[in-house]
Amino acid sequence: MKNNEKLGRQVSIYLCHKYSGAPLKEIAVKFNVGVTAIGEASKRIQKKMEDDQTLRKLIGTLTTKINKWKMES
């Protein structure tokens, strides 16, 4: 898997974990991974955001859009 695809997948897992409210098992099934991989991917992204301003801004933008969508629903 290419690095961009891997990062995109990790960001997707992180956002689902943080904002979906879905059980870890459900998220794991959707991404075809084990339950512990969800927490690990989230921790990896949080660590990467500490060092990567571009990633932090991207996730901030996505988070804003998610929150806006949730308020409209």
**In the CATH scheme, what architecture does the domain 3-72 have?**
Orthogonal Bundle (1.10)
CB 17 within 8 A of CB 38: yes
- CA-based nearest residue to 20, from 72, 73, 68, 66: 66
Q: How high is the pLDDT of residue 34?
A: 96
Q: Residue 1 — very low, low, confident or very high, per pLDDT cuts 50/70/90?
A: low
Q: Where are the domains of the chain?
A: 3-72
Pick 45 or 71 by higher pLDDT: 45
CB 46 within 8 A of CB 35: no
CB 17 within 8 A of CB 42: yes
Q: Residue 2 — very low, low, confident or very high, per pLDDT cuts 50/70/90?
A: confident
Could you tell me the pTM of the whole model?
0.87
Query: Measured between alpha carbons, how far apart are the two ends of the chain, in Å?
Result: 35
